[in-house]
Chain A
Amino acid sequence: MTTNWIDVLLWGVLPYVMVVVLVGGTIWRYRYDRFGWTTRSSELHESRLLRIGSPLFHFGLLVVIVGHVIGLVIPASWTAAVGVTQEAYHVQALVLGGIAGFSTLAGIAILIYRRRTTGPVFSATTRNDKVMYVVLVAAIVAGLATTLLGAAGGEGHDYRASVSPWFRSLFVLQPDIASMAAASTGFHVHTLIGMALFVIWPFTRLVHAFTAPLQYLFRPYIVYRSRAGGPAARPARRGWERV
């Protein structure tokens, strides 16, 4: 199969651009805007809907992420080797993925409805948030649609034969452009929106995901810190340099 320049651009260049922006942007943000690095929660203004929508969205999303990792990282041959047939794999992926995808979508629908209808929450919504919501919802919808249409249409398009090899090939810096180009349009759209999401990620409130506080499980309850972290914590002022 021949690859034209658009495919090269989309599946050979764009992913790396995305990674550069994602990593670079995150480092930049962490270095220069730690103060802005927050969930910017609006629970103070409204909690009834949030308490339904937010867990639905977040837990759904966690399952979706796990599903993506499994689907993209583990080659079909491996699952086959442990005795999971293609059909079985697809049925479970469809069922689990479908449920998780729907809760994610329902969750974010509730959250957006809440955001739009609760006065103070809407006032606290920035343009940045709005853009982020559009991309995020688009990614979820595209993903869910691809999954469902793929199954319903009986097209049986197997992303594990097209998208996953391409995804893995990215890591060895030899993008398998041809196999990705052969995937269906649905996957293309979902992948592109997904990449867009990762590109804007570091510049939106989504960054809070990168600091999920897992260390909480291991640290002592009471944290002591020395004032200002000792003399080196702050650049010395002119005339006050250490001798």
Chain B
Amino acid sequence: MRVMAQIGMVMNLDKCIGCHTCSVTCKQAWTNRGGVEYVWFNNVETRPGQGYPRRYADQERWRGGWVRNRRGRLQLRAGGRWRKLATIFANPVLPHISDYYEPWTYDYETLTEAPLGDDFPVAQPRSLLTGEPMQVEWSANWDDDLGGGPEVGAQDPVVEKLRRESEDAVKLDYERAFMFFLPRICEHCLNPSCVASCPSGAMYKRAEDGIVLVDQDQCRGWRMCVTGCPYKKVYFNHRTGKAEKCTFCYPRVEVGLPTVCSETCVGRLRYIGLFLYDVDRVGEAAAVPDEQDLYEAQLDILLDPADPDVVRAARREGIPEDWIAAAQRSPVYKLAKEYRVALPLHPEFRTMPMVWYVPPLSPVVDRLTETGHDGESAANLFGAVDALRIPVEYLAELFTAGDPEPVRDVLNTLAAMRAFMRDVTLGREVDESIPAAVGMDGAQIMEMYRLLAIAKYDERYVIPTAYEGEAHQLEELACSLDFEGGPGMGGEGPDGGPPFGEASGRPVPVSVETFHALADRQTADDFGDTESRRGRVNLLNWDGRGRPEGLFPPRRTAAERARDGNGSPPPDDGDGPAGDAR
């Protein structure tokens, strides 16, 4: 047993209202730059639906993840090492930009500058890739809220599969339509196929917390990782020619803060915590013959942090005490393994994803209520979960490789909690038979209810800070994400950087500001020439910090300020966070 720590997330889908706050704040923090306009490290897709990029889950087409070969070994679906090198000059299965969508902005300037005339001026959409006017036809969640509708629903690979298997399993006709939202980030897999696909060795899994990152210095743009990831959560920055992906907001996590998407989630449905797992058994677990055993196998390698043997083994591996303590309080461990209400997304890709989902019970409840039943009563709910093949089978295709049993169990547990808590809330006598029906007792249900319904910030996010021993470097460890145009975007700032190019100076803290990058692009604001239009950002990207040309009077130099006698002296140290005077 070799214990490693993994930071993981659980999302409670019942609570997601599809507001996309998480996507927008994530984009603000990480991908509001040229080259990654089309990139959403966090996206929310409506299910049933195609997802983003379109139909990414169809691995027959996109060839992501692992497969088990005849000898029982795992093998990259897109081909092994030799094949990778042989196809390195043109990746055979890279998604095209149109599989994501062509990013655009609007020609806002015509609104203010159009000559007086009879027609209202219109802000035309323009491609951010070419600067040409374009027709907007698709985006990251174009089928928003149309999930289950006949047009989009039928394109969902999962629906397609279910249909193939039984003619009428998924009826998408209007009355029986259901939908829910599925927020997705990188899964920070235990067995990441993106890492395995990278020929340069630029992608890696951090030994301390399992976060999967791309070393921007080492990435050479072979783009095999994009194909390798079955969730299509590695993206290619077409400006810088480097791969980028969700970083689990590591600069925040290292100082004990939750990721931006979690912090800003309106539904407060995200949980972050630690898993301890046995790294020696990952390969074996990911290679179990039957796809439907993958969920169990994955649960199996998660170790019980309360077990003294595990604690001892963890200490032996040098996992610090506060991390072990955090693992013992981990909400994600509780939801995934103790209560077994959180399921991994597409375990059949065999990457051992570490973002887990509490499947939504609401389609079931809604359906009951629609048909005039009491959607909160235990008997009705249990019966409905068993009777309603949709959405159970649909959810099973998402979360358990098609095995409806675990999904049914989870939904029953959630139903039991709902029914039990109704009695509690209404002050009625509680019915211990309800929790017993799902193998729990009242106290456990109460505890689970607490975690799912009312857990406060510090219960939802149990994040130990980075090692004490390294505290001296804790002002957001920069691992070379910091380039003008790179994911860290520390960059050099508008007026020059270190003497010999990007790597020659001191790194600028990662998470501090997108200040310079934003300011830079915002000053390229004239809509006159295509050159600058290509670099334009959507106004939505302005976080109120940059200085778009013309919005403020020109900035005065320090000398001018001193002359006027009322300015504050410029900071002497150039590496202050906001770098206001730089």
* Chain B residue at minimum C-beta to C-beta distance from A210: B220
Q: Does A38 contact B (CB under 8 A)?
A: yes
Q: Does A174 contact B (CB under 8 A)?
A: no
Q: Does A5 contact B (CB under 8 A)?
A: no
Cβ A227 vs Cβ B477 within 8 A? yes
CB distance from B431 to the nearest CB of A (A): 49
Q: Does B242 contact A (CB under 8 A)?
A: yes
Q: Does A50 contact B (CB under 8 A)?
A: yes
Mask of B497-526 contacts with A, CB within 8 angstroms, 1/0: 000111110110000000000000000000
Cβ A44 vs Cβ B238 within 8 A? yes
* Chain A residue at minimum C-beta to C-beta distance from B99: A44
Choose the segment among A9-17, A71-79, A186-194, A228-236 that binds chain B (4+ C-beta atoms closer than 8 Å). Answer: A228-236
CB distance from B447 to the nearest CB of A (A): 33
CB distance from B202 to the nearest CB of A (A): 9
CB distance from B483 to the nearest CB of A (A): 5
Q: For B240, what are the chain A residues with a Cβ–Cβ distance below 8 Å?
A: 35, 38, 40
- Chain B, 173-212, CB within 8 A of any chain A CB: 191-192, 195-196, 198-201, 203-209
Q: Does A66 contact B (CB under 8 A)?
A: no
Given A41-B236, A51-B92, A35 and B486 touching (CB < 8 A)?
A: yes
Q: Does A169 contact B (CB under 8 A)?
A: no
Query: What CA separation (Å) do A44 and B53 show in the bound complex?
Result: 13
Given A119-B132, A235-B506, A216 and B84 touching (CB < 8 A)?
A: yes
Cβ A216 vs Cβ B85 within 8 A? yes
Cβ A38 vs Cβ B242 within 8 A? yes
Cβ A33 vs Cβ B220 within 8 A? no
Q: For A4, what are the chain B residues with a Cβ–Cβ distance below 8 Å?
A: none
CB distance from A72 to the nearest CB of B (A): 25
Q: For A44, what are the chain B residues with a Cβ–Cβ distance below 8 Å?
A: 94-97, 223, 236, 238
Cβ A222 vs Cβ B196 within 8 A? yes
CB distance from B225 to the nearest CB of A (A): 12
Choose the segment among A52-60, A133-141, A153-161 that binds chain B (4+ C-beta atoms closer than 8 Å). Answer: A52-60
**A213 partner, pick from B92, B199, B239, B241, beta carbons under 8 A:** B199
Most chain A C-beta atoms within 10 Å of own C-beta, residue among B92, B205, B223, B241: B241
Q: Does B221 contact A (CB under 8 A)?
A: yes
Mask of B81-103 contacts with A, CB within 8 angstroms, 1/0: 11011001111101111000000
Cβ B223 vs Cβ A227 within 8 A? no
**B201 partner, pick from A43, A59, A215, A236, beta carbons under 8 A:** A215
**B472 partner, pick from A38, A39, A41, A236, beta carbons under 8 A:** A236
* Chain B residue at minimum C-beta to C-beta distance from A62: B89
**A54 partner, pick from B90, B236, B502, B507, beta carbons under 8 A:** B90
* Chain B residue at minimum C-beta to C-beta distance from A51: B90
CB distance from A128 to the nearest CB of B (A): 13
* Chain B residue at minimum C-beta to C-beta distance from A207: B220
- Chain B, 421-462, CB within 8 A of any chain A CB: none
Query: What CA separation (Å) do A32 and B91 show in the bound complex?
Result: 29
Query: What CA separation (Å) do A40 and B240 show in the bound complex?
Result: 7
**B94 partner, pick from A47, A208, A223, beta carbons under 8 A:** A47
Query: What CA separation (Å) do A57 and B221 show in the bound complex?
Result: 18
| A to B contact number (C-beta, < 8 Å) | 174
Q: Does A226 contact B (CB under 8 A)?
A: yes
- Chain A, 85-124, CB within 8 A of any chain B CB: 119-120, 123-124
Query: What CA separation (Å) do A227 and B478 show in the bound complex?
Result: 10
- Chain B, 444-493, CB within 8 A of any chain A CB: 466, 469-470, 472-473, 475, 477-480, 483, 486
- Chain B, 247-261, CB within 8 A of any chain A CB: 254
Q: Does A172 contact B (CB under 8 A)?
A: no
CB distance from B523 to the nearest CB of A (A): 20
Q: How many residues of B contact A (CB 8 A)?
A: 69
CB distance from B315 to the nearest CB of A (A): 18
Q: For A215, what are the chain B residues with a Cβ–Cβ distance below 8 Å?
A: 201
Query: What CA separation (Å) do A42 and B501 show in the bound complex?
Result: 24
Q: Does B141 contact A (CB under 8 A)?
A: no
Q: Does B353 contact A (CB under 8 A)?
A: no
CB distance from B209 to the nearest CB of A (A): 8
CB distance from B68 to the nearest CB of A (A): 15
Query: What CA separation (Å) do A223 and B207 show in the bound complex?
Result: 9
Cβ A227 vs Cβ B208 within 8 A? yes
Given A40-B221, A41-B223, A240-B473, A32 and B500 touching (CB < 8 A)?
A: yes
Q: For B91, what are the chain A residues with a Cβ–Cβ distance below 8 Å?
A: 43, 47
* Chain A residue at minimum C-beta to C-beta distance from B243: A38
Q: Does B17 contact A (CB under 8 A)?
A: no
Given A35-B503, A43-B90, A47-B94, A211 and B85 touching (CB < 8 A)?
A: no
**B89 partner, pick from A33, A55, A214, A223, beta carbons under 8 A:** A55
Q: For B530, what are the chain A residues with a Cβ–Cβ distance below 8 Å?
A: 123
CB distance from A234 to the nearest CB of B (A): 6
Cβ B472 vs Cβ A55 within 8 A? no
**A227 partner, pick from B84, B97, B132, B466, beta carbons under 8 A:** B466
Q: For B82, what are the chain A residues with a Cβ–Cβ distance below 8 Å?
A: 217
Given A226-B207, A237-B475, A47 and B503 touching (CB < 8 A)?
A: no
Query: What CA separation (Å) do A168 and B562 show in the bound complex?
Result: 66
Q: Does A198 contact B (CB under 8 A)?
A: no
Mask of B62-83 contacts with A, CB within 8 angstroms, 1/0: 0000000000000000000110
Q: Does B284 contact A (CB under 8 A)?
A: no
Q: Does B217 contact A (CB under 8 A)?
A: yes
Q: For A37, what are the chain B residues with a Cβ–Cβ distance below 8 Å?
A: 217, 220
CB distance from A24 to the nearest CB of B (A): 13
**B207 partner, pick from A120, A225, A231, A235, beta carbons under 8 A:** A225
**A219 partner, pick from B94, B201, B475, beta carbons under 8 A:** B201
Q: For A68, what are the chain B residues with a Cβ–Cβ distance below 8 Å?
A: none
Cβ B84 vs Cβ A222 within 8 A? no
Q: Does A31 contact B (CB under 8 A)?
A: yes
New A-B pairs, 13, CB < 8 Å, besides A213-B222, A234-B507, A236-B472: A32-B501, A34-B217, A35-B216, A35-B242, A38-B221, A44-B223, A120-B127, A216-B85, A223-B195, A223-B201, A223-B204, A227-B209, A237-B473
> Can you list 14 residue pairs at the A/B interface with Cβ under 8 Å?
A28-B500, A32-B501, A35-B240, A35-B503, A41-B221, A43-B223, A58-B89, A124-B238, A211-B200, A216-B198, A221-B195, A221-B196, A228-B470, A240-B473
Interface residues of A (CB under 8 A from B): 28, 31-47, 50-51, 54-55, 57-59, 119-120, 123-124, 205, 208, 211, 213-217, 219, 221-228, 231, 234-237, 240-242
